[in-house]
Structure 1
Amino acid sequence: MNVLIIENEIYLAQSIASKLSDLNHNCDISSSTKEALKGIHYDVVLLSTNINGQDIYPVIDAYKDAVVILMVSYVSNDTVSKPLAAGAKDYILKPFMIEELIRKIQHFQNHEKLRRQNQTYERYLNYTFSGVKIDEDFDKTELPLMICSAYQKYADSFAFRYAQHTNKALHFISFNSPKALQDIAAFSSNDILYITDFQNLKKSDIKHFLELIEKRSCIISGTDSVENFPFRVIEIESENHLFDQSDILPIEEYVKYIMTNFQNRFPDTELSKKLGISRKSLWEKRKKYGIVKKK
Structure 2
Amino acid sequence: MNEKKTVKTKPFKKKLLVIDDEKNMRHMLSAMLARSGYMVDTAPDGQAGLQKVNNSIQKLKPYAFILCDLKMPNMSGMEFLDSVRDKIKETTVIMMSAYGTIDTAIKAMQQGAYDYISKPFNIDEVLLALKKAEERENLKHENFKLKERLRKIEDSYSFGSMIAGSAKMESVFRLAKKASEYDSTVLIQGESGTGKELIAKALHFNGIRTKKAFVPVNCGGIPDNLLESEFFGYKKGAFTGADRDKKGFFEEAGMGSIFLDEIGELSLNLQVKLLRTLQENEIRPLGDSQTRKIDVRVIAATSKKLEYEVKKGAFREDLFYRLNVLPINIPPLRDRIEDIPILSNHFLEKFNKKFNKNISEISPGALSILSIC
TM-score by length of 2: 0.39
Larger radius of gyration: 2
